[in-house]
Copies of this chain bind each other. A is one copy, B any other.
């Protein structure tokens, strides 16, 4: 496990800014810009929703055309620029034109991200103001940049990791926004990871896909998947270090995956109305895919999430959710443990509450004491094969309903 710092000091050759462009009514930061002084190798993972926002379509096109000369990422809040048709695409391009002009680079070197309400056009005058202000304020205030991409997030989410390799040291750093609408396959989640290591476009793409699969794709807040999901990786080589040997590439992968996992967990912790952080360790399932599917089904079950909120060790709902996941599953071969905390050692699974198709003779008071904790881990041993996956999820509270019943007003 890499040691992740919850902040970003500096990443060689990168600068960032978060400014108030007038998009948010309350004067909060609402527009972010990240710039590299040298061309970056870049990779992206995007929403699988058939309804893709304009910035997603534009970034996909640009990375397909040339993923080795990216210089900047601009992100706006308030409008998701999704379901906005030809005007939306035009506005996404116009945003990148403004950034390119301000930085004296080509528009094709700019990626854009948007988050906010679906179906409203970008207010281009405010976007222009955001570009002006942010390009004039570039520096090392990554926290401001992370704050400037927030929607219903309650706090900026960022982190970094320093890797000491045989060829030298480099940094990976990233920020993320999440909150509601977070599900398997991402959802309105935007994340940018930057590194001053040098890496090939092919290796960057593979590393990002692998890291995403084991992090952002393994969290569930509400089961929805958005039109705007984007995770970007930019590598500018500013450290002078180029991981090249198998061991160095593996180190890079581990650091990237650990950073993404940290950011993904931060998204769950800061989910809308969340009061509990729940780890679902699914082990010995038919396959890794089955383990992931079972964990995601449990994590997305509103009934299960309501029970988490009520601190109810309702294992019946967990087992029933596993049974409808559409994978091989047999309650008679299944055991379920619950424990306080997260990242438990294998030999500390806690209280066994279900085994051999039936509840054990555990005491409800013992289970209740565990369920009252802010972090809970369930270990579900399916007793079928060797497939394992860990899913991070949360409860659903009254506040979630309040926030989402009235989001647009």
Chain A residues engaging chain B, CB cutoff 8 angstroms: 48-51, 80, 82-85, 87-88, 117-119, 180-181, 185, 222-227, 300-303, 306-307, 309-310, 312, 314-317, 319-324, 328-332, 354, 356-359, 396-398, 400-409
User: A303's contact among B224, B317, B319, B328, by CB below 8 Å, is which?
Assistant: B224
- Of all chain B residues, the one with the shortest Cβ separation from A226 is B320
Complex Cα distance, B316 from A80, in Å, reads 10
Sample of 18 further A-B pairs with CB below 8 A, known A50-B329, A82-B316, A310-B405: A49-B320, A51-B320, A83-B316, A83-B319, A83-B358, A118-B315, A119-B358, A180-B303, A181-B303, A225-B320, A225-B324, A227-B323, A306-B400, A306-B405, A312-B408, A396-B401, A400-B401, A401-B401
Complex Cα distance, B396 from A400, in Å, reads 11
Nearest-Cβ distance from residue A313 to partner chain B, whole angstroms: 9
Nearest-Cβ distance from residue A371 to partner chain B, whole angstroms: 11
Chain B residues, CB < 8 A from A358: 83-85, 87-88, 119
User: A83's contact among B87, B222, B224, B359, by CB below 8 Å, is which?
Assistant: B359
**B405 contacts A401, CB within 8 Å?**
no
- Give the interface centre of A118, A329, A405, A409 by most chain B CB atoms within 10 Å: A405
User: A317's contact among B118, B321, B402, by CB below 8 Å, is which?
Assistant: B118
- 13 residue pairs from A and B, CB less than 8 Å apart: A51-B320, A51-B322, A83-B316, A83-B331, A85-B332, A118-B314, A119-B354, A180-B303, A224-B324, A306-B401, A306-B403, A309-B405, A312-B405
